[in-house]
Amino acid sequence: GAVVSQHPSRVICKSGTSVKIECRSLDFQATTMFWYRQFPKKSLMLMATSNEGSKATYEQGVEKDKFLINHASLTLSTLTVTSAHPEDSSFYICSAPTGTSYEQYFGPGTRLTVT
């Protein structure tokens, strides 16, 4: 079945640095991908919708300059957390609809820890 990968699976970085997270659809093309974050013991929160070839659509309250999203190809979307702070520590997960059905596939997630 369709698979979505994320890289890295875990990352630890220092405050002030930037971290890039990749989301790839492995055997299908995804014109749209979704980025979520999850705080401990909380539900997922949709951050933005990544659109291939155009600007991402951000949810209310999500800082566009803080969380840069680039959907450079039909199989790759990247989320860059810029000037990371400890409060950015979270679990980030992406998902992609296959486009041919109503199925949605999720990446395994990236655990970001900012020290």
User: Is residue 104 involved in binding other proteins (CB under 8 A)?
Assistant: yes
User: Is residue 106 involved in binding other proteins (CB under 8 A)?
Assistant: yes
- DSSP characters over the chain: ---EEEE-SEEEE-TT--EEEEEEESSS--SEEEEEEE-TTS-EEEEEEEETTSPPEEPTT--TTTEEEEEEETTEEEEEE-S--GGG-EEEEEEEE-SSSS-EEE---EEEEE-
User: Is residue 27 involved in binding other proteins (CB under 8 A)?
Assistant: no
How many chain residues bind other proteins (CB under 8 A)? 24
**Binding residues for other proteins, per CB under 8 A?**
1, 32, 34, 36, 38, 41, 43-44, 46, 49, 59, 91, 93, 95, 97, 101-106, 108-109, 111
